[in-house]
Amino acid sequence: MATGQLRLQTTLTFVVLNGVFRFSASAAGPLSMSNLLTLLRTGDWLTPQRLKLIAVLFAMVSLVGLAGDIWVHTRFGVVNGEGEQLGRDFVNYWAGPRLAMQGQAAKAYDLNWFWAYERSLTAPNAEFKWYGYPPVAMVLAAPFALLPFLPAFAAWTLSGWAIVTGMLSNRLTPLWAGLAVLALPAFQFNVMTGQNGAFTAALLAGGIMVLESSPILAGMLFGALCYKPHMGVLIPVAMLAAGRWKTIFSAAATVALLVAISLVWTGLPTWEGFLHNTPFHRRILESQGLGFIHMPSTYLMLRRIGVDSLFAYGLQGATSLLAAWMVFSVWRTTASKELKGAVLLVATFVATPYVWDYDLIALLFASVWLWAEAERTAWRNWEKTALMAMLALPSLASLIVLPTGLQLGPFAMWWVLILLVRRATSPQKLATS
């Protein structure tokens, strides 16, 4: 996303949250520091009515931002004046399977050749894009490649929104579920970048949701994440802790099946090309370009403050192990499935060094599950405020990250994770009316 666009999004987000919080604070009495801290600690500023107001306002901000983005990127066909494609990265998901259908899938991993191919499909000045996913992604995205570019992008975007909305409708009404997804800053980034965050969230959360009723289906959903394996890094930990062997075997079989299909369809050279380009992702992570604004990982946070790369990797590894231990510990308790699921989702994002803002759509499920759990039992200190900080952080990137160079995303996620683990491992009382 362009810096100017990001600043506008940040300003609107800050205005909305600041307005709601100030109104809540004034309603609670004089605006003293003690009053403000009490509101933040108790979360009394975030009533269900105000949460709905925030959702409506954020959804309006999102629609305005998306409409502007589409207008800018369709003035010269499907690119803006600088050659940036509509949906940015979506062209990769669309063009890769098209090559496979032409029997040239391996060419997707020839960086310069693939760039020229994408330009032939979109615009002569289209900016550089690369195909960074394993060949199984071509298998999963193939239906979209059957459509022309614009209808494919529309189908990609709307289907992601509809799937996540439908999954949340078991906790929210369809109207509020749809608004909640649209209001989520991570979803707006996902649409603008043409990314797979909605589908990744659906697979992660979907596997958790059906785990008890259909462990084999849960394994199939988890296994389908092999197109983005770093997002499933803690799933085996949770399944082992809970003794979910059917799910483990189902996930392994699904991965094997998808790899086999991709080998038959795209050929062994395609996998060789993917493995050859794997270091490219590490260079992106270590380059600390403008993308660091949208990458809330512990590794990148440490690199931005001058920590040596090797030492930063070591600290990231330590935090990943700690997150894995938390998941293992919670999944061995008798905590509710919603609480266990929320721990797994949030821990996933603190465990991986390669995470983008658009991946954080999955955290909406964690938030909804925690909200349901807290309404059933009782809210605890800081939980509401921590949730809002985690969900809103992607939109506050330029306000915090650009001026300071500090990526605070990991702190927000760790804050929520610690609160979740505390709730899961300590006795709870039922809420009283």
Q: For 144-179, give the secondary structure using H, E and C.
A: HHCCCHHHHHHHHHHHHHHHHHHHHCCCCCHHHHHH
Q: What is the pLDDT of residue 9?
A: 62
Q: Give me the tens of pLDDT residue by residue for the chain, a chain 433 residues long.
A: 555 555 666 666 666 666 665 666 565 566 567 788 888 899 988 988 999 999 999 999 899 999 999 999 999 999 999 999 999 999 999 999 999 999 999 999 999 999 999 999 999 999 999 999 999 999 999 999 999 999 999 999 999 999 999 999 999 999 999 999 999 999 999 999 999 999 999 999 999 999 999 999 999 999 999 999 999 999 999 999 999 999 999 999 999 999 999 999 999 999 999 999 988 877 777 776 556 788 899 998 998 888 999 999 999 999 999 999 999 999 999 999 999 999 999 999 999 999 999 999 999 999 999 999 999 999 999 999 999 999 987 877 667 777 777 888 999 999 999 999 999 998 665 444 3
Q: What gap in Å lies between CA 392 and CA 399, rounded to an integer?
A: 12
Kindly state the greatest CA–CA separation across the chain: 70
Q: Delimit the domains of the chain by residue range.
A: 3-425
Q: How far is CA 227 from CA 30, 143, 262, in A?
A: 53, 16, 11
Q: Hey, CA dihedral for 186, 189, 191, 193, is it positive or negative?
A: negative
Q: What is the pLDDT of residue 433?
A: 35
Answer yes or no: are the C-beta atoms of 211 and 331 closer than 8 Å. no
Q: What gap in Å lies between CA 279 and CA 429, rounded to an integer?
A: 50
Q: What gap in Å lies between CA 425 and CA 428, rounded to an integer?
A: 9
CA atoms within 13 A on the CB side of 148: 3
307-314 long-range CB contacts below 8 Å, 24 or more apart?
A: 313/353
Nearest 5°: the CA angle 144, 146, 149 is 70
Rounded to a whole number of angstroms, the distance between the first and last alpha carbons of the chain is 46
Tell me the one-letter amino acid at 77.
Answer: G
**pTM, entire model:** 0.94
Q: What gap in Å lies between CA 19 and CA 27, rounded to an integer?
A: 12
**Phi and psi at residue 79, to the nearest 5°:** -135, 165
Answer yes or no: are the C-beta atoms of 417 and 326 closer than 8 Å. yes
Q: What gap in Å lies between CA 101 and CA 133, rounded to an integer?
A: 17
Which region holds residue 176: left if phi is over 0, alpha if psi is between -120 and 50, else beta?
A: alpha
Q: What gap in Å lies between CA 142 and CA 101, rounded to an integer?
A: 9
- The single-letter DSSP state of residue 184 is -
Closest CA to 352 of 311, 394, 324: 324
